[in-house]
Amino acid sequence: MPAADLPTPPPGSTTELVAGLRHEASRLGFARLGVAPADPAHRPPFLHEAFRRWLDAGLAGAMEPWLREHEPLRRDVRVHLADVRSVIMLAADHATAAEGAGGGAGRGRVARYAWGADYHDLLRARVNALGAWLEQRMPGCRTRGFIDSAPFPEREYGWLAGLGWIGKNTLLINPRAGSYFFLTVLLTTAELPADLPMEVDHCGSCTACLDACPTQAFVAPRVLDASRCISALTIEDHGPVEPALRAGLGDWLFGCDVCQEVCPWNRHAPGSAEPAFQPRESAALPLAELLALDDAGFRARFRGTPLWRAKRRGLVRSAVLVLGNRPDPASADALVAALDDVDDVVRGAAAWALARWIEAGVMVARCQAALARQ
């Protein structure tokens, strides 16, 4: 139907409708909800211009081809839903506690968001349920929900919807909840009263996140070089890691939380009791076991978890690099065996790791013998 004929709540009812929407979102498990106007005129042009400059500067790393191909789809939310009038942004806190989160000998750390089940499935079902609730309350309106499944500037619209400010670590930060939360989008043709963006930059003069990054991935405040970011390298990039960056990975196997761990706003971040976000196993995984996984073993163990995105090559490669940074004699057999892995990226990482053991004076004779056979 023409935009002018789209359903709009009667005067005086929008407050009650949004109040009901917030209540239903909370019932479904979302912690916060904000509304932003979909009209591009209300989105400051500098947001997309900054994204374009970031892409053109070559800072997207392995994500560059996909982001550049879909860059036009980020300019105007109307490409995702015809006649959209409002963007509903939802936050779901995911911080949980886990034993062994700090790693240890022979183990690799996993970013906090990936400790439980795949959040996509859970939050997609919930946002679709919220959309159905709104469509029932406003017959004739349409909705579309998604989470990480469309080229959409979630972070920017989270700011426009009043859910937080964009911190120097490029993450959306809420003054009461920190940054440990997922963002979910619900577009609707209903015109809802918008919340106000958070205008104050609560980062102030703090540079803790910039200073703590192990690979110096921040070019400037709010400017991330993804080709140096540990999260991007261990999740999105499945090829060889630049030798100069390998030591900076430390014991991070999948993702990285350093810039969030040092953020003062996360000191009192609310925890989550959501069963799906609770750790399926220790937050630090045994590296030797990972090196022993073939493709079938990887699929059986990690299907349905966020770690699936790294693929077998990326996860095993990262496990080998962690062993290179944190030698563990108990994992020596697995590391030596990785020299004969079916994947050339894994084999190259294993040779580098054994050379690091030699430099560190760990099992020198065995490492030299293993490398000499190659």
Q: What pLDDT sits at residue 42? A: 77
- What whole-number distance in Å separates Cα of residue 266 and Cα of residue 33? 20
Q: Which residues pair with 94 in a beta bridge?
A: none
* Residue 304 domain flag: no
Measure Cα distances from 306 to 118, 157, 254, 295 in Å: 5, 24, 9, 16
- What whole-number distance in Å separates Cα of residue 270 and Cα of residue 368? 49
- What is the dihedral sign for C-alpha 275, 174, 85, 75? negative
* Residue 334 domain flag: no
Buried b (16+ CB within 10 A) or exposed e, 76-96: ebeebbebbbbbbbbbbbbbb
* Residue 364 domain flag: no
Parent domain of 81: 3-97+112-188
**Residue tagged 């070089």 (tokens):** 225
Q: Is 148 a catalytic residue?
A: yes
- What whole-number distance in Å separates Cα of residue 341 and Cα of residue 246? 19
* Residue 371 domain flag: no
Cβ pair 23, 33 in contact under 8 A: no
* Residue 179 domain flag: yes
Give the chain's largest Cα–Cα span: 81
Mention every residue, 6+ apart, whose C-beta is less than 8 A from residue 326: 103, 105, 106, 250, 251
The number of folded domains in the chain is 1
Question: What pLDDT digit, counting tens, does each position of 322-344 carry?
Answer: 999 999 999 999 999 999 999 99
Mention every residue, 6+ apart, whose C-beta is less than 8 A from residue 95: 112, 178, 180, 269, 270, 271, 272
- What whole-number distance in Å separates Cα of residue 182 and Cα of residue 30? 9
Q: What pLDDT sits at residue 2? A: 43
* Residue 79 domain flag: yes
Cβ pair 23, 32 in contact under 8 A: no
pTM recorded for the entire structure: 0.92
**Residue tagged 């932003």 (tokens):** 36
Measure Cα distances from 362 to 242, 291, 338, 371 in Å: 23, 19, 17, 14
Phi-psi region of 131 (alpha: psi -120 to 50; beta: other; left: phi over 0): alpha
* Residue 370 domain flag: no
Q: What pLDDT sits at residue 268? A: 85
Of residues 39, 76, 83, 148, which has the active-site annotation?
Answer: 148
* Residue 248 domain flag: no
- What whole-number distance in Å separates Cα of residue 126 and Cα of residue 130? 6
Q: What pLDDT sits at residue 34? A: 98
pLDDT digit string (tens) for the chain, length 374 residues? 344 455 555 544 788 899 999 999 999 999 999 999 998 877 777 788 899 999 999 999 999 999 999 998 888 899 999 999 999 999 999 999 876 577 789 999 999 999 998 999 999 999 999 999 999 999 999 999 999 888 999 999 999 999 999 999 999 999 999 999 999 999 999 999 999 999 889 999 999 999 999 999 999 999 999 999 999 999 999 999 999 999 999 999 999 999 999 999 999 888 898 999 988 777 889 999 999 999 999 999 999 899 999 999 999 999 999 999 999 999 999 999 999 999 999 999 999 999 999 999 999 999 999 999 88
